[in-house]
């Protein structure tokens, strides 16, 4: 049996860290949006046992349970009790690794969707969220995509009105950001500026794209270590070329800008691409 699908990147239109919970995780309040930038996933199941990455294409991708896609398949088979299948997962990467775009989580979410369809298990939303949060905090959102308010560790999802159609430029600086390291720098009491999530949700309800752009904010930008000037420089380049707003996604370091006009998005892309190989012109998914 074989199945396939697309694993779509996510953006954080806003990201607020509410508190540190007793289990060591942080409680978040974030508005997420899926975009058309994606990895392509192919899953093949033949009689046998085990889950593996059949052809990673990238030597740096782990092939065992450290890979979220492998972890997702193991979680699916463990929950459903289905046995006797050797599962190979092939990932064609387009989403940069360690970019704050949820690439690994999107891959895991896609594997869950593919296996659910292949084996006709028809897992409900609650079950998929439960499986997803056990794999990674962004996985529940990536299973469903769209535009959502995401709270808690990532398991509380509220559907929001879709963002107005627009053009998006995503640009990743040369460095990666360690999510555990950045969370280790967080002191919730010292966060000076927080996003107006209520205002952002209201702007989405009005299909007010400029309003959405005005309310975009990510508290992680204030926690970045010194020497990460590329984030600000990319933001300024996007704004100088007509972006309505630009902000870092997730724990970074990727920056994205929202554009009403394709011509402006193209100008921003053309100005950044020569210096940053991981630069993409994309759209809402």
Instruction: Give the residue numbers annotated as catalytic, written as ranges.
Output: 10, 138
**The dihedral of CA 115, 121, 124, 128: what is its sign?**
negative
As a whole number of angstroms, the distance between CA 172 and CA 253 comes to 6
Task: With H, G, I as helix, E, B as strand and everything else as coil, classify residue 91.
Answer: strand
Task: With H, G, I as helix, E, B as strand and everything else as coil, classify residue 168.
Answer: strand
Q: Which stretches within 81-138 are classed as H helix? A: 103-118, 125-135
Question: In this structure, are residues 265 and 207 in contact, taking their beta carbons and an 8 Å threshold?
Answer: no
Distance of CA 130 to the CA centre of its chain: 18
Closest CA to 177 of 257, 231, 245, 247: 231
- Max alpha carbon distance in the chain (Å)? 57
Question: In this structure, are residues 147 and 156 in contact, taking their beta carbons and an 8 Å threshold?
Answer: no
Question: Tokens 């950045």 — which residue?
Answer: 182
Question: In this structure, are residues 195 and 216 in contact, taking their beta carbons and an 8 Å threshold?
Answer: yes
As a whole number of angstroms, the distance between CA 260 and CA 244 comes to 7
Task: With H, G, I as helix, E, B as strand and everything else as coil, classify residue 123.
Answer: coil
Question: In this structure, are residues 95 and 101 in contact, taking their beta carbons and an 8 Å threshold?
Answer: yes
Question: In this structure, are residues 30 and 15 in contact, taking their beta carbons and an 8 Å threshold?
Answer: yes
């Amino acid at each position: 049996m074989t199945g396939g699908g697309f694993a779509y990147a996510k953006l954080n239109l806003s990201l607020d860290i509410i508190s540190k919970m007793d289990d060591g995780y942080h409680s978040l309040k974030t508005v997420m949006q899926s975009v058309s930038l994606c990895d392509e996933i192919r899953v093949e199941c033949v009689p046998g046992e085990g889950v593996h990455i059949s052809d990673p294409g990238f030597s740096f991708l782990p092939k065992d349970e450290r890979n979220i896609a492998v972890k997702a398949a193991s979680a699916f088979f463990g929950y459903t009790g289905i046995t006797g299948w050797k599962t190979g997962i092939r990932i064609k990467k387009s989403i940069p690794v360690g970019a704050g775009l949820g690439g690994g989580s999107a891959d895991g979410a896609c594997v869950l969707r593919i296996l659910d369809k292949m084996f006709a298990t028809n897992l409900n939303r609650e079950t998929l969220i439960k499986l997803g949060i056990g794999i990674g905090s962004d996985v529940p959102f990536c299973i469903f995509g769209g535009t959502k308010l995401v709270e808690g560790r990532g398991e509380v999802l509220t559907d929001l009105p879709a963002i107005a159609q627009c053009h998006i430029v995503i640009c990743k600086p040369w460095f990666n950001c360690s999510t555990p390291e950045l969370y280790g720098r967080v002191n919730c009491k010292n966060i000076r500026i927080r996003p107006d999530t209520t205002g952002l949700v209201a702007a989405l309800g009005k299909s007010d794209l400029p309003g959405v752009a005005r309310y975009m904010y990510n508290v992680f930008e204030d926690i970045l270590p010194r020497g990460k000037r590329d984030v600000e420089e990319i933001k300024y380049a996007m704004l100088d070329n007509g972006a309505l707003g630009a902000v870092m996604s997730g724990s970074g370091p990727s920056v994205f800008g929202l554009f009403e006009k394709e011509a402006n998005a193209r100008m921003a892309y053309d100005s950044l691409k020569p210096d940053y190989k991981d630069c993409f012109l994309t759209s809402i998914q």
